[in-house]
Amino acid sequence: MQQVPPMDDAQFQHWQQMLESRIGITLPAERKSFLLTSLSGRMREIGCTRYQDYLELLNNGRHGAVEWEILVDRLTVHETRFYRDRQALQLLEDHCLARLLPEEEGAEPAPVRLDLWSAGCATGEEAFSLAIAVDHFMRRHGLKGYCSVMATDISRASLAHAREGVYHRNRLKNLPLEILREYFTPWDLDHYRLIKRIRERVCFTRLNLINLDAARIGMMDVIFCQNVLIYFRRERREEIVNRFVEHLRPGGLLILGAGEVVHWRHPDLVPVASDEVIAFRRETEDNLAP
């Protein structure tokens, strides 16, 4: 098998700059081996032996754009599973869904309309987990209405996978048995598919988070963004979460990954008390300072 040559410091710096400028990913020196593994694997597949030749291919019009999509998919991590963060889903129920219940026992609940956003949804497990959690709560409490989930990611391949709604059983091992039985049907010996009602609640769209200022996004009741911001520089992370706030309705929840925006605060948000989850609520107009 033909080997790809080592990468010198100048070449690595060029790749660092290109990745950050195009998709915002910051690649520190300690992750150089990850880059080399991803590049060399793809270059061998297409019979390319020089980094410069591969760079030229990436910049070669339409063909290069297709190749860039393939490379981005290799460089972004998609390992996830359903109900990965049970604490975050419990926080969603306690601080958002519980507010949908009538205050007076026996009163008729108002119709529900919830809009959620899974930012950096990968292959869809988080987005579908949100849709399932909301649907299960509404059915359990007899609530009527509608919930929609917008799910965005930079990887076209991941989004294509997500739209199928078919998952290996290993991705489902965190699910309670009642949820598995209610929301999935066997697909083959090792795979299950989400029921149509849940698949139709989630809209998968390609979005680069560094381009939020140009994206057409409505207002959301809940924004989930976990294990995504770690790829960006601190300044870029804060730019992104500040943009999130602009799309959060008064009273809405912003749920982030632990340690991703340390010491970040926003004047319109208040922290939500939690031992396990980093979350903020946007102040309602009644609570905003004059």
- Whether 288 has a pLDDT exceeding 50, the answer reads no
* Pairwise CA distance, residues 126 & 121, whole Å: 6
Q: Give the residue, 62 or 185, on which the prediction is more confident.
A: 185
- Whether 47 has a pLDDT exceeding 90, the answer reads no
Domains in the chain, please, with CATH? 9-75 (1.10.155.10), 86-282 (3.40.50.150)
The token pair at 237 is 């992370």
Q: If you average pLDDT over every residue of the chain, what do you get?
A: 89
Where is average pLDDT lowest: 15-24, 100-109, 214-223, 272-281? 100-109
pLDDT at res. 2: 55
Mean pLDDT of 132-156: 94
- Whether 191 has a pLDDT exceeding 80, the answer reads yes
Mean pLDDT of 31-53: 86
- Whether 122 has a pLDDT exceeding 50, the answer reads yes
pLDDT at res. 289: 41
Yes or no: say if 283 and 250 are a contact pair by the CB < 8 Å rule. yes
Count the alpha carbons within 13 Å of 273 in the hemisphere toward its beta carbon: 0
Nearest to 39 by CA among 85, 9, 5, 90: 5
Cβ atoms within 10 A of the Cβ of 277, count? 20
Where is average pLDDT lowest: 49-53, 102-106, 147-151, 206-210? 102-106
Mean pLDDT of 100-115: 84
- Whether 149 has a pLDDT exceeding 90, the answer reads yes
- Whether 73 has a pLDDT exceeding 90, the answer reads no
**What are the angstrom distances between the C-alpha of 188 and each of 184, 193, 195?**
12, 9, 15
**1-12 pLDDT, tens digit each:** 456 678 888 888
pLDDT at res. 290: 36
DSSP type of residue 104: S
- Whether 131 has a pLDDT exceeding 70, the answer reads yes
Nearest to 175 by CA among 131, 118, 138, 129: 129
Mean pLDDT of 138-163: 94
* Pairwise CA distance, residues 220 & 162, whole Å: 21
- Whether 171 has a pLDDT exceeding 90, the answer reads yes
Start-to-end Cα distance in the chain = 69
- Whether 87 has a pLDDT exceeding 50, the answer reads yes
- Whether 24 has a pLDDT exceeding 90, the answer reads no
Could you tell me the pTM of the whole model? Answer: 0.86
pLDDT at res. 78: 65
* Pairwise CA distance, residues 166 & 123, whole Å: 10
Mean pLDDT of 208-236: 90
Yes or no: say if 179 and 132 are a contact pair by the CB < 8 Å rule. yes
Element (H or E) spanning 222, and its range? strand 220-225
pLDDT at res. 65: 86
